[in-house]
Structure 1
Amino acid sequence: MTNRTINLHLVSDSTGETLNSIARATLARFEDVRVIHHRWSLVRTRMQLDRVLDGIEHEPGPVLFTLVDRSLKHALEEACARLHLTCLSPLDGVMELLQGALGTQAREKRAAQHVMDADYFRRIDAMHYVLSHDDGQGTAGIAEADVCLVGVSRSSKTPTCFYLANRGIKAANVPIVPGASLPIELENPPCPVVGLHIEVNALIDIRRHRLRLIGASGVRQDANDYIDHESVKAEIVAARRLCTAHGWPVIDVTRRSIEETAATVLQLMEAWHARRRGAEAEARAAPSDPAAAVLGTGTTP
């Protein structure tokens, strides 16, 4: 049972994604609390703010806001003070810290993170890439990938790829299917390859749910290799051995969220590129004369 219910007002002059993320991250630490979210987005005029203030007065509760317009910000703060409500702009402290460190004032620009710049189009391009290279499609396109995820069916490859695409990462995914060989492009991959592992019982539950969704609940589960315990176990073991044989790092996604899996993939990508840069630096430092190492006049690679 919940011990307390509160109204939480999120007021933004943009999409409100920043406030939603902050609220979600902080509220996850509170148990037995019911929070009613009131999301007020694209608040850019005094008339729009007046409607927000009416809503706050009708259902009072703490207010989080991100407003660039100073007059709107002051009006909201004054109204909250009059209603004896807590009001906070969570980005102000961070902004002041960075202004002090950089020695310059931040621009008063609304929705600055949502501009259609090169980064925006890179994310769109990455999303198109994931759609075209999902579940082993267009394997020749792996040459253009930033990372390739491999794993058995229903091991969260696709949602992880889409999450990475939203970060501008072109992520291909290739299923490891019993009896099927991997694409030839993965023999000498041009990008990091990461395996996704999942425990047997968790995978069976996911696959059973998948079968129910597609109307296949009538399939005899004890005769279906897709959800047979021993078959699934053998499939997972074979996939793990395949990744080990190729030297591909493996992430256990059984109890990880998509966000956590994607964060680990990004770390592994950085490590892969760091190793590659190190190898290239060593190659450049090696003597150009093959006889140098033999004669002792150069550094052996």
Structure 2
Amino acid sequence: MNKMKKWIPAMLGATMIFSVTSASVFAATPTSVTQVSTSTNAKASSNGYNISLDQNSLCSNTSLQKVLDLSKTELQKQFQAGKTLSDLAKAKGINTDEVTNALLQPQLTKLAGDHKSGKLTQDKVASIKTDLTKQLNNSLTKKVTTVTTVTTTSTTTSTTSNPAVAWAKSSDTTSTHALTNLKKSAAASVLNLSQPELDQQIKAGKSIVDIAKDQGVDKSKVIDTVVAKEKNWVTSQLNNSWNNTSGTLTTEQQQFKESGYLDKAAQLFGTSADNLQTQLKNGKTLTAIAKEKGVDSSKLTDTLHAYAKQQVTAQCDQAN
């Protein structure tokens, strides 16, 4: 999911970070304010493909645990003792390339899927892989930092007239995790957790797959449940026009767009996402546009469902 955030600092005894989006009407509402410790190597990022490198995320990385033959607790002790990833690789007698590849693997899977679906060219995939690998290699000799988030609630002036703001507020404002509330609700039900409990573990750096393992739940059962929920939601959007009296996108329309579904449909129709949005806002539906373009509606559904499965699978396997 594309990010809808803009971070701005304010001094309140410590650095505070919060999400804001501009709109024309302002109101005083409770807002989450999160104190976040600084980190020089907390993430490797290229074109929206992110690999978290803070202590919580690394300790929860099962691929890294396997390569280094260390448990989550053992990794945590080593990092807290000041050891770097390079130090751990040397102690285990393994090449640092193995460590880099373990960290890179989830994004390689996602890149391969995006290439197969036509979202990325092979050259773009290679470029992103090279960029991420370079950043990961540079991080191996740095001490691993702990990113601590402490969320408090305060009343502040915020915008509520823009649906995009409402959607952003319904998401996890202290995390880059791409799971929407709809997906997290589906996951929580299978994991036998409340959504606040699930949110807390996600904020601690765990992926849905990590949490499933901790809860003794088959990860495929969790992923399949979330995928099914997402597919049903996507299907429900296909016969809705975006012709709203306010002229702005609703929460669901914004979510459909930001999640990449509009781009996928546009690619299938051989047009741009902007052109497609204009047609939707003029009263047409995606099903109707597919018919005009000579595209079978089942192909449209299958394409977006395949993308939904790809997205959910990657998101469930990725920690903050």
Do Structure 1 and Structure 2 share a fold, with TM-score over 0.5? no
Question: With structure 2 as the length reference, what TM-score do the two structures score?
Answer: 0.21
